[in-house]
Structure 1
Amino acid sequence: MKKLLVAVAMLVGANMASASDISLWEKSTLNEILTRGELQVCLEAGYMPFEMRNKKGRIVGFDVDVAKEMAKAMGVKLDLRNTAWDGIIPALLTAKCDIIMSGMTVTAERNLKVNFADPYIVVGQTILLRPGLEGKVSSYKDLNDPQYKVTAKLGTTSDFATKKYLGKATINLFETESEGALEVINGNADAFVYDLPFNAIYSSQNKGKVVHLDQSFTYEPLGWAIRKGDPDFLNFLNNFLAQIKGDGTYDKYYQKWFGSDDWIGDVQ
């Protein structure tokens, strides 16, 4: 009798677990994407070379190419949804998109709101310096002084890093990275703090107008963000990333956007 009861209990437990698994899958964003036939990606066009507009007005970049590969692997269409940075996490949480693929740094604060797939690249903060300070300022430490005016982008890790490491300086925050960098060129600021890839490209586009101090002073892994409670989608993303890194697809796009500047003449 006891053996019969145990067998029945095991069967009921297995059925309950199976039903639970089905319920999780039905609620998964991945299932929604496949059913809809479209992958909806939130990003903010303006972060070179991850996502920006070309001269035809189309959004292009490293993240965009990877998103296209992801949609292809799913067998669905791709819908890029340009979203202001300060509203990009709320947009994800209110299901205005399925995933954020926009050079987002993985931080503990953000991780309380969203889940991140494994980091796909690591960057750090560097400095665009006013040419007149070349030689006088050699690192971020030198700028931590009330005599200097420093700009950064509002709500990003450049904002947080500037306040943490350059708190004694006068700090002005801007909605876009281009606005912050332009302040240095126009002589209204001594330095602009932002991610290495953007600063490297911006300095090459504006030779003689800014000096790039290219030694990163922060460690910032970037990851794709999704809503919490979705193990199926997270599993897919991590395996997709491993696959494209292993089969050469990732390296192809990395070389295209980071290993070459052939694309610069085609962007706004």
Structure 2
Amino acid sequence: MGIRMNKWLLIVILSLATLIAAGCAGLTGPSRVVNVGMATNYPPLAFQKEGELKGMEVDFAHALGESLNATINIKTYSWQALFEALDTGEIDVVMSGVSVTDARKEKVLFSNPYMDVGQMAIIRSADAGRLAAKAQLMSGNYRVGYSLNTTGQKFVTEQLKSAPQIGFATQQDGIDALLNNKVDYFIHDAPTVWQLTSSYPTDERLFGLYAPLTEEHLAWAVNKENAALQQELNEALGEWSENGFLKQTVSKWIPVSVVLSAE
């Protein structure tokens, strides 16, 4: 009898321990951690303000944590270091306004696109009368700046071969060069051009040329070996498209007309 009672007590104790452990795990939050990589020099998609991360990609990352029942750990890198971090496993996904290109497809898996954009040009407002026409840009007679290792660089080097070209490490370096008359055009992604020239407060010295120069799709990148996470990202994007969160978030950070991907 004593042995049977001891066995019964042991079962009860183990059951209680299991329940307590499960309850504690619930209190500490999800056990899964997803490391997200961002370059934070890309307003309005990802940037630092008063020591805090902000932007459209930041909002998406936090929402992704809820969709995946995971803790999101955002890690910041320079743009050039993002894909190396993905390749080495330091991060699980790049969420940083990445344009889908054939060259990048060879190295990473992309989620479905969440926004359709393109490269655009910024000029000085004082030059709007003489440089606003696309024909002037395409003539190759003016100095053109771009951010290094971006699709803006690809456009300039392939389509404006005769133009004097200058690559800059950051977007801000390029804008400073434009304002200081070191280049006549600065090429960057549409969200950057919209944010700098159509959002309040706007720098009145800058004038955006809103005619897209290219057609591009923004998406998130994961390691080639992580098709499971790619599928989870696509499922989250599908839910956000249906419930309106995707459009709402884009409109919050880019208050101009944007074409959302139908995929």
| TM-score normalised by L of structure 1 | 0.79
CA deviation after TM superposition for structure 1 residue 206, in Å:
4.6
Point out the structure with max Rg over C-alpha.
2
Aligned to 2:222: 226
CA deviation map 1:69-106 (0-9, x unaligned): 11112222211111111121111010010000000000
Please say if residues 141 and 165 of structure 1, whose CA atoms lie closer than 8 Å, have aligned partners that are also in contact. no
Task: Answer yes or no: is the 8 Å Cα contact 1:203–1:210 preserved in 2.
Answer: yes
C-alpha separation in 1, matches of 2:217 and 2:135: 22
- Could you say which residue in structure 1 is the equivalent of 2:42? 47
The percentage of aligned residue pairs carrying the same residue is: 26
Q: Contact 1:116–1:225 (CA<8 Å) still a contact in 2? A: yes
1:35 positional shift: 8.7
The structure 2 residue matched to 1:110, chosen from 74, 79, 104, is 104
1:82 aligns with 2:76: yes
Contact 1:131 1:210 in 2 (8 A): yes
SS at match of 1:134: helix
- Counterparts of 2:145 and 2:154 in 1: how far apart (Å)? 12
**Structure 1 residue 256: Cα displacement:** 1.4
Distance 1:169 1:132, change over 3 A: farther
Work out the CA distance in 2 between the residues paired with 1:239 and 1:152: 34
> How far did residue 230 of structure 1 move?
2.7
Q: Distance in 2 between matches of 1:59 and 1:70?
A: 16
- In structure 1, distance between residues paired with 2:192 and 2:76: 18
Confirm or deny: 8 A CA contact 2:140 2:160 kept in the other structure.
no
State how far apart, in whole Å, the 2-side matches of 1:127 and 1:83 are: 26
Match of 1:4 in 2: none
Aligned with residue 231 of structure 2, among 212, 231, 235: 235
Aligned positions of 1:92-241 closer than 5 A: 92-204=86-198, 205-241=201-237
After superposition, the Cα gap between the structure-2 partners of 1:155 and 1:168, relative to the gap in structure 1 and judged at 3 Å, is same
* SS state at 2:99 partner: coil
Deviations 1:190-232 (A, max 9, x none): 1100011111211244543122111111001011000113332
Is the CA contact 1:144–1:167 (under 8 Å) kept in the aligned structure 2? no
Amino acid at match of 1:192: F
- Structure 2 residue 259 is matched with structure 1 residue 257: no
Q: Which moved more, 1:107-116 or 1:228-237?
A: 228-237
8 Å Cα contact 2:140/2:163 also seen in 1: yes
Contact 2:109 2:227 in 1 (8 A): no
Unaligned runs of 5+ in 2: 1-28, 257-263
- Specify the code of the residue in structure 2 equivalent to 1:243: E
Deviations 1:97-121 (A, max 9, x none): 0000000000000100001011010
Cα deviation, 1:151-208, whole Å, max 9, x if unaligned, reads 1000000111111222211110011111101111111111100011111211244543
2:168, 2:92 → 1: CA distance? 27
Matched position secondary structure for 1:216: coil
Task: Show structure 1 runs of 4+ deviating over 6 A.
Answer: none
Looking at structure 2, the residues matched to 115 and 139 of structure 1 have their Cα atoms a distance apart, in angstroms, of 37
Secondary structure at the aligned position of 1:222 is classed as: strand
Secondary structure, in 3 states, of the residue corresponding to 1:239?
helix
More strand by share: 2
Structure 1 counterpart SS, 2:165: strand
Q: State the alpha-carbon separation in 1 of the partners of residues 93 and 65 from structure 2.
A: 12
What is the root-mean-square deviation of aligned Cα atoms in Å? 1.8
Moved more, 229-238 or 208-217: 229-238
